[in-house]
Every structure is written in C-alpha cells, then in structure tokens.
C-alpha cells in the first residue's frame, strides 16, 4: 500500500501546505506593522500572507473592506468542523477583528457528532489495513514507500 504519496498529492494536503507556506509572509507583515513600516507590511500581505495575518495588517492600514474579507475567510477556515473541533486561537482573533469592524459573525454549522462518527477519515480503510497487518506480524506485506 502506498498511503503517503496519495495523501501528499491530495487537494487537502496542498491547501494545508499553501497555508503553511504563507504563514511566514503573514508574520513578516505583522512585524513590519509593529515597526511602523506600513509599506513593507502591505507588500508582504499582498504577496500572499495567511488570511488572519492579512486581516490584522489590513485593519492596521485602515483598509476595512479588505480586513473584513480576510477576517471572514480566516474565521470560516479556522471554524473547521465547529467547536470543539476548531482552531480556537485563530478563531478568537478572527472574531475580534470582525467585532472591531462591527461585522456579524458568519452563521456556520455546529459540530455534528452523528455525521463525524459516520464518516471515515481520509484513507481510514487503508490505515486500518496497515494496522491489522502490523498487529498480525505480517510486516513484510506493508509497503514502506
């Protein structure tokens, strides 16, 4: 079985990797806001900072429409499956920005325990097969590549 290459090539994984690669740009943009260098803050944000950082920078630059758009996208992304399965810290910061802007919070679906327990996680059947193979001692059958 070749689970890892399939996982890495998935759209979900590419989205996560893109977000992670944009986080340093967001950090740099926020650092330049703290220094008062708004020109560089804008440049790093426009190069593709993560949405939460972008919302903070746009708010600092007084660009309320762009701050709202980025904060809404950050809020929706960090909602994930809904509390308690949300990215709490980022969700809190996105909510604070939306509140500063006087914007309502998006109406997102709460966590659905029934739906979650009925769905398999990505590659769950393959993962369970590998676990079963390892537990039975047939390790030679597991493709480690």
pLDDT value of position 79: 92
> Where are the domains positioned within the chain?
3-8+15-111, 112-145
pLDDT band at 10 (very low <50, low <70, confident <90, very high): low
Work out the widest C-alpha separation in the chain, in whole angstroms.
62
Record the tokens describing residue 83, joined without a space. 């509390």
pLDDT band at 1 (very low <50, low <70, confident <90, very high): very low
Residue 4 has pLDDT above 60, yes or no: no
Single out the residue of 16, 78, 14, 19 nearest to residue 48, CA to CA. 19
Measured CA to CA, the distance from residue 145 to residue 134 in angstroms comes to 15
pLDDT value of position 135: 87
pLDDT value of position 2: 46
Burial degree of 91 (CB within 10 A; 0-12, 13-18, 19+): buried
CB 45 within 8 A of CB 57: yes
Record the tokens describing residue 81, joined without a space. 């499956």
pLDDT value of position 126: 82
């Amino acid at each position: 079985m070749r689970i890892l290459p399939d996982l890495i090539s998935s759209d979900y994984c590419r989205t996560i990797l893109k977000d992670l690669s944009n986080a340093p740009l967001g950090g740099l943009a926020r650092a330049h806001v703290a220094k008062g260098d708004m020109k560089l803050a804008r440049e790093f944000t426009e190069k593709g900072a993560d949405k939460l950082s972008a919302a903070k920078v746009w708010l600092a630059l007084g660009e309320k429409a762009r701050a709202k758009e980025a904060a809404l996208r950050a809020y929706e992304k960090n909602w994930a499956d809904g509390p308690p399965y949300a990215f709490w810290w980022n969700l809190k910061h996105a909510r604070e920005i939306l509140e500063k802007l006087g914007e309502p919070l998006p109406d997102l679906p709460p966590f659905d325990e029934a739906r979650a327990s009925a769905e398999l996680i990505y590659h769950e059947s393959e993962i369970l097969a590998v676990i079963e193979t390892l537990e039975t001692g047939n390790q030679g059958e597991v493709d480690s590549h």
